[in-house]
Amino acid sequence: MQESSSVVELANRLRGEVDRYSPGGKLPSSRALVERFRVSPVTVSRALAQLAAEGLVVTRPGAGAFRAGPRTPLVAQGDTSWQEVALSADGAADLVPRTVDASGVVVCLAAPPPGVIEFSGGYPHPTLQPEKAMAAALSRAGRRPGAWGRPPLDGLPELRSWFARGIGDTVTAADVLISAGGQSALTTALRALAPPGAPVLVESPTYPGMLAIARAAGLRPVPVPVDADGVKPALLADAFRATGARVFVCQPLFQNPTGAVLSAERRPEVLRIARAAGAFVVEDDFVRRLVHEDSGPLPRPLAADDPDGVVVHVASLTKATSPSFRVGALAARGPVLERLRAIQVVDTFFVSRPLQEATLELVGSPAWPRHLRTLSAELRGRRDAMTAGLRLHLPELALPHIPSGGYHLWLRLPEGADETALHSAALRAGVALTPGRAYFSAEPPAAHVRLSFAAVAGTAEITEGLRRLRTACDEALGAAETVRHTPPGL
């Protein structure tokens, strides 16, 4: 059972027992709860913290947990219906109405219900995260001189240099800004490069979180199709001419969701086309460290081969570490760097210095290269287990491309299939997947689903998840086939 499920179950059981104690009464010790419920001390600690957050218990270090006193009655709810008018009127004059829709992101961020296998996750399973190394890095970082002081606005110089070296020898620390993860960096980049109402070119399909950023900023995402070699240059040039866009957002390495890698032939073409259009390329290099063990040499980031400042590069450590290790970087050249810096300072001031110090401790430790090697091997094993299982048990789900990096597979459903129906059937069968609709900024050419092989505990869980998915496909796709072959009027 996953740790999060154990915490929820223990909190529920303790919640039902709190009333047995009088206000101020002491609950059983943590050791007693560990022995009674056969869970880990961490689970007990987190369950008690949940009850404390709800105001049911009070924890006192060294003394234990106690039932809280009587709670203050809830204040009567007011009438908030007026907000519908205010929020609707807010964007009435916008050229492109702003829409704040996080549904496509929440699917990848929200933990599924207990017992449901997570093929929808956007982050590696805790067993793939360097938890011990991160804990040790945080401990060492907290003792560094000045670790709790105010950091430089652009980020610690040593960390900026580390990110610059990872991009290429043409990038220096002076070109880099430290950000609070990749999502924050993308938000800053789009705000800096495109005014509200402007078109922004995006790959199709593409990352739903980026589409959400664009729409929340009042931008108009315009799709440019990709294939196994990345974005199609001729269509990119056509889109620039047709829209007058000044920004193209792409993921040249292990693209989300297709897993495509921009080919060596297309890389200079993309830069040339953007430069001729007077446009920026936002390069979201989000999974460079999630390369699989059998991958060949990786292409350099586009930013490494860009002397003219066309590329605004976004990098992040989050995917290779933990969802909560939110450290990333923006890299750019020329006047745009000052605009990026100004927007980031206004939005966030700076990234937590202890977290930056911990990042330096982590990536400078012997544990870091060991973790990356282990992660690379594990991802390959899980990818192979999922692809083999799909071919054997679910051949009707088309897998056009097997990536050599990243954490997911992109599957095309049979003609006439309903991905929403499959998603619902899968949840009933006990497996969570990601419907493909959210990855398209316009009408999708077919129904798709994305399956993550990194968010599960291992290959045994992949096998069980595919067994459950077979049941869901029999229900959802079988029903669609019946409807498709039923004569009209019956």
Q: pLDDT for 427-474, tens place per residue? A: 999 999 999 999 999 888 899 999 999 999 999 999 999 999 999 999
Mean pLDDT of 335-344: 94
Q: Categorize the per-residue pLDDT at 17 as very low, low, confident or very high, splitting at 50, 70 and 90.
A: confident
What is the per-residue pLDDT for 95?
A: 65
Taking the CB of residue 72, how many other CB atoms lie within 10 A of it?
7
The domain made up of 3-67 is a member of CATH 3.60.15.10: no
What is the full DSSP assignment across 252-317? -SS-TTT-----TTHHHHHHHHHHHTT-EEEEEETTTT-B-TT--PPPPPGGGG-TTS-EEEEEES
312 phi/psi in degrees, rounded to 5? -105, 115
Position 4 pLDDT exceeds 70: no
What is the full DSSP assignment across 366-412? THHHHHHHHHHHHHHHHHHHHHHHHHHH-TTSB-----SBSSEEEEE
What is the per-residue pLDDT for 97?
A: 66
Q: Could you give the CA distance from residue 449 to residue 435 in angstroms, rounded to a whole number?
A: 5
Position 482 pLDDT exceeds 50: no
Where are the domains positioned within the chain?
A: 3-67, 103-127+369-484, 130-363
Please determine whether the domains at 103-127+369-484 and 130-363 fall in the same fold group of CATH. Answer: no
The 220-227 sheet, strands edge to edge: 176-179, 328-331, 311-316, 280-285, 247-250, 199-204, 220-227, 230-231
Q: Which residues fall within 8 angstroms of residue 336, CB to CB, at 6 or more apart?
A: 192, 193, 280, 309, 312
Place of tokens 């594990």: 378
Cβ proximity of 327 and 316 under 8 Å: yes
Distance of CA 352 to the CA centre of its chain: 20
Position 81 pLDDT exceeds 80: no
What is the per-residue pLDDT for 93?
A: 63
Position 486 pLDDT exceeds 50: no
Q: Which residues fall within 8 angstroms of residue 140, CB to CB, at 6 or more apart?
A: 358, 361
Supply the mean pLDDT for the chain: 89
Per-residue model confidence as pLDDT tens digits over 219-266: 999 999 999 999 999 999 999 999 999 999 999 999 999 999 999 999
Position 23 pLDDT exceeds 80: yes
* Strand-strand pairing, 280-285 and 247-250: parallel
What is the per-residue pLDDT for 487?
A: 47
**CA dihedral in degrees (205, 308, 238, 257; nearest 10)?**
-10
Please give the CATH topology (third level) of the domain spanning 130-363.
Answer: Aspartate Aminotransferase; domain 2 (3.40.640)
Q: Which residues fall within 8 angstroms of residue 139, CB to CB, at 6 or more apart?
A: none
Cβ proximity of 411 and 448 under 8 Å: yes
Q: Could you give the CA distance from residue 281 to residue 331 in angstroms, rounded to a whole number?
A: 12
Q: Categorize the per-residue pLDDT at 488 as very low, low, confident or very high, splitting at 50, 70 and 90.
A: very low
Mean pLDDT of 272-276: 96
Q: Could you give the CA distance from residue 120 to residue 451 in angstroms, rounded to a whole number?
A: 6
> Which of 18-27, 132-141, 146-155, 199-208 is the least confident region?
18-27
What is the per-residue pLDDT for 73?
A: 59
What is the per-residue pLDDT for 5?
A: 66
Per-residue model confidence as pLDDT tens digits over 361-411: 999 999 999 999 999 999 999 999 999 999 999 999 999 999 999 999 999
Q: Categorize the per-residue pLDDT at 70 as very low, low, confident or very high, splitting at 50, 70 and 90.
A: confident
Q: Categorize the per-residue pLDDT at 74 as very low, low, confident or very high, splitting at 50, 70 and 90.
A: low
Position 98 pLDDT exceeds 80: no
What is the per-residue pLDDT for 345?
A: 92
Q: DSSP assignment, residue 435? A: E
What is the per-residue pLDDT for 489?
A: 47
CATH number of 103-127+369-484: 3.90.1150.10
Per-residue model confidence as pLDDT tens digits over 136-195: 999 999 888 888 999 999 999 999 999 999 999 899 999 999 999 999 999 999 999 999
Taking the CB of residue 321, how many other CB atoms lie within 10 A of it?
27
What is the per-residue pLDDT for 269?
A: 97
Q: Could you give the CA distance from residue 132 to residue 126 in angstroms, rounded to a whole number?
A: 11
What is the per-residue pLDDT for 72?
A: 58
Position 104 pLDDT exceeds 80: no
